[in-house]
Structure 1
Amino acid sequence: MKLISLFLTIVLLDSASSLNILGIFPYQGKSHFFVHRVYLRELAKRGHNLTVISHFPEKEPPKNYHDISLAGSIKILEDDLVVHRSYISVLQVGIFLTTTGKENCEVMLANNEVQNMIKQKPKFDIVVVEQFNSDCALGIAYKLNAPVVGVTSHILMPWHYSRLGIPYNPSYVSFHFLEGGTKPTLVQRLERVVFDLYFRMIYYFVTQRSDQNTLARYFNDIPPLEDLAREIKFLLLYHNFVLTGSRLFPANVIEVGGYHVQKAKPLTGDLKKFIEEAENGIIYISFGSVIRSSSLPSDKLEAVLGAMRELPQRFVWKWENKTMHVDKNKLYTFDWLPQVDILGHPKTLAFFSHAGMGGTTEAIHFGVPMVAMPVIGDQPANAAAIEESGLGVQLQIRDLTNQNLVTAFKKVMDPKFRENVKLLSKAWHDRPLPPLDAAIYWTEFAARYSNFTFRTAAADVPLYQYINLDIALVYIALLLLILAGFKALVSICCLGKSKEISRSKKIKHK
């Protein structure tokens, strides 16, 4: 009888503590959702009831995980981008973000299942929203009258700073799309000012305005999206200061970088044989799920192949076609590779990467030094963090030559460098709470205390007060008054003296 009573108590407690959670992930980027999926499945594993709007429905969802699928409505982004970097490509990123943000909003709101859910107004304890290229999902959360937790799979976007009250100073804060890290040159600081203005203006005046109009076609009471964005309870930021450095984050911005990395599994088949027979270890090459390695210009490809011939290590490369004819004893290529399992293998000595946040966190998780060659998005900022933290070195596309690549590989494979990376990895893991546990905890915390606001006062201060413009004007006005008074006093004194001199001259003349 006592056992039955205990069982019922446990069941009732579990039932009472389970939350109804809505996840909204309208962006079609596979690399983004790959990170979020781990967090969502863990929420379900811990007994919470999930409804998830995304382009990536689960094939075998848990019984408490319900998909509202957007699959098939937009082409999934995978192996679409070429290896190229220029000012033009950075400007094109702004257009891409605007275009996809607008499209994501329209597709999501046009979905019948989404509309039916909003009309039925089910009770959700929390809404988890990806913070990337659109705030459209905040309109849905508003209609459902539910508090919001934001999540990212990358560093902050330019428009996130002001809404969260996070200081942005181009002299020491890395910029999402540009080089320079925390130690930019004068030219790089000038670039940051221009591109920061570009990305924020195009987001505020194009993306948000478009999303606001799209929402207005369905609902007539949605407040300004920027106001809703300031109401986000917590932002779970895919950072950790061990890699990205110390930042000035308010209490409602929580660093949870690294929670998606799973335990490495044993390799199988030809790949296992190729790696385990590598007497001098292997170097792994991958430019992620969006950038096509096979789009490397011929001279850059020859630089990589030349480095392979010069070094004794074997290479494993995520390569999307079968046109490259090389020594099969030297290079293993395939269009999909188990990256975590390769990075977790003791024979993997280095990782040549585009510096995407997913692969970078996997590298530091397993203590594998990196040669980072950024292409697009947050990769330039990540590459700078890789070098500044000591995880690896960065090599820009324009500098990719045979000799430069060989030098970079030799540097990161030096025993002392690798020893430091292992220590860095140890610090990465040494946290009071594992990142996935932290992400879950703060999600549940936001639901428990949904009536409270945890944002910093800096998020609500008008710009003129934030930069102390009013104080400066008062002091300038006082200074001008003092100068004017002093000038008037001098004028009076000079005028009196002039009259006295004039009177003396008249007396003397008489």
Structure 2
Amino acid sequence: MKIISLTVILSLILLIDYSTCLNILGIFPYQGKSHFFVFRVYLRELARRGHDVTVISHFPEGDAPKNYHDVSLAGSSEAIEGDVPIGQYNKYLLLLGTSYFLTKKGVENCETMLANQQVQKLIKEKPKFDVIVVEQFNSDCALGMAYKLQAPVVGIMSHIMMPWHYQRLGVPYNPAYVPFHFLGGGTKPTLYERVERTVFDVYFRYLYKFYTQRNNQNTLAKYFDDIPPLEDLAGDIKFLLLYHNFILTGSRLFPSNVIEIGGFHVVEAKPLQGDLKKFVDEAEHGIVYISFGSVVKPSTLPAEKVKAVLNVMKQLPQRFIWKWDDQTLMMDKNKLYTSDWLPQVDILAHPKTLAFMSHAGNGGTTEAIHYGVPMIAMPAVGDQPANAASIEESGLGIQLLAEDLTEENLLNAFKTVLDPKFLQRVKKLSEAWHDRPMSPIDTAVYWTEFAARHSNFTFRAATADVPFYQYIMLDVYAVLILIFISIVALVKAALKLCRKSKSNNTKEERVRTTKKKAKKA
């Protein structure tokens, strides 16, 4: 009897899962490997939970489950990996180069995606999707596709917000306390940094609006004649799944439809293997891991900086593992292990890993706080300066800019993060990071399903639709100033009238006095 009851219960559960299965489309036209590395965990989880998932991307799955379908853009553009130099360029030249890269790729990604025959077939067939998940990065082209397919849209990011996303979602941006994507300073910028942020915020927003977004609109118009303004479509996004968590990035003023999901991409660590395992196991004083991620090219670090790092290694008892892209790095193999590919999560999860020197990419930073590993953050480009500021402010680690990388500074930085008290603080921070009412992957999946279940409702913040002059209360201040001026004017007029009346009374009194004196005479 118990077996029959259990069978019935399991059957009902399966029926419920089947009845709530969604048809989901994911659109990821950007060819950044570090971005999609985060998204694929979420997309595969949607498929694992029984949803039918179709994904447009440059990274088709080699072992995809039956309900995961790729619309591959692979080969149409070269994947972005290991191209960015570190510590060689002026900050402002790098920012201008970044802006050129973002706008150029945003336009190219749209053209490449829409020209794809599989994508065109998908749009013409117009299958019924319950929800469409769109990467929010350097192009809104995918929103035009979503409009044609008539499904609710959920935005997703693998980084902090770009400058053009604040206004469309009604998220307050104030350079006095809100970090800027491409610059440092964190939540306590100097006056110079506030001016810097204000100028570059305007520059990036208008460049995006008048170049990328306009070109995306024109590209869409080649295929469709009824796409509304992309900024309007961006305002209709149901939810933005933001790769944040306040433990690391600090408390922000987000509306209800901006959901923090930072941390879901960190997979379960596996035991180290082979020579790497032997190297770590024999590290009597522990391990320091150095990696500048998949985008920053470590061999572009100036020779004197590399020499400084190697000299510091000799002065510390720990062994070092460095992700290095060529064979030029020479040092005692008992002290330094190098490879152009390393199992980062497995290394960071190992109990002998005591510190992590990084470019402050969002993925590696998330993995470090997940496993409670102190960081030395040396940012290069993109959101890394803002991430580095969060690392320092949260207590996860300290910043060391590439231009400040000297033997003395680096040695002091390592002594700071390798201090047992610092490590203990980071472990506590990691505990807080994990202490959530719902796991980040469950949160991401829940709000995706929520958007599909309640597609007829809008969750847009009212602040997103308030005109700028009303948002900064110019009209209210104008009315209050007008009232104040009117009161002052009335008071002045009354005083003037009183003075005039008093003057007239004085004159009449003098006339009467003169007449009385004349009569007496």
- TM-score w.r.t. structure 2 length? 0.94
Aligned to 2:258: 253
Structure 2 CA distance, aligned partners of 1:498 and 1:7? 100
Matched position secondary structure for 2:223: coil
User: Are positions 1:113 and 2:131 aligned together?
Assistant: no
The Cα shift of 1:330 comes to 1.3
Aligned to 2:344: 339
Structure 1 CA distance, aligned partners of 2:9 and 2:433? 40
Partner deviation per Cα, 1:448-482 (whole Å, 9 max, x = no partner): 11111112211121111111111111111111212
Aligned to 2:79: 76
Correspondences of 1:97-496 after superposition (within 5 Å): 97-496=102-501
Q: Which residue of the other structure, out of 37, 41, 59, is the alignment partner of 1:38?
A: 41
The Cα shift of 1:313 comes to 1.1
Matched position secondary structure for 2:357: strand
Matched position secondary structure for 1:284: strand
Of residues 500-509 and 320-329 in structure 1, the stretch that sits farther from structure 2 once superposed is: 500-509
Aligned to 2:24: 21
Residue identity opposite 1:349 in structure 2:
L
The Cα shift of 1:210 comes to 1.0
Q: Which residue of the other structure, out of 36, 50, 53, is the alignment partner of 1:50?
A: 53
Partner deviation per Cα, 1:349-403 (whole Å, 9 max, x = no partner): 1000000010000001111000001111111111111111111111111211111
CA RMSD of aligned residues (A): 1.8
Structure 2 CA distance, aligned partners of 1:498 and 1:103? 81
The Cα shift of 1:170 comes to 1.1
Structure 1 CA distance, aligned partners of 2:351 and 2:98? 37
Q: Which residue of the other structure, out of 63, 67, 71, is the alignment partner of 2:70?
A: 67
Of residues 366-375 and 456-465 in structure 1, the stretch that sits farther from structure 2 once superposed is: 456-465
The Cα shift of 1:205 comes to 1.4
Task: Report how many residues are paired.
Answer: 510
Partner deviation per Cα, 1:229-286 (whole Å, 9 max, x = no partner): 1111111110111111111111111111010001111111111111111111111000
Q: Which has the larger radius of gyration?
A: 2
Residues 345, 8 of structure 1: alpha-carbon distance in 2 compared, 3 angstrom cutoff: closer
Of residues 35-44 and 11-20 in structure 1, the stretch that sits farther from structure 2 once superposed is: 11-20
Residues 7, 502 of structure 1: alpha-carbon distance in 2 compared, 3 angstrom cutoff: closer
Percent identity over paired residues: 66
Partner deviation per Cα, 1:102-135 (whole Å, 9 max, x = no partner): 1111111111111111111100000000011111
Structure 1 CA distance, aligned partners of 2:163 and 2:444? 23
Q: Which runs of 5+ in 1 are unaligned?
A: none
The Cα shift of 1:493 comes to 3.6
The Cα shift of 1:492 comes to 3.1
Of residues 4-13 and 33-42 in structure 1, the stretch that sits farther from structure 2 once superposed is: 4-13
Structure 2 CA distance, aligned partners of 1:500 and 1:94? 75
Q: Which residue of the other structure, out of 89, 92, 111, is the alignment partner of 2:94?
A: 89
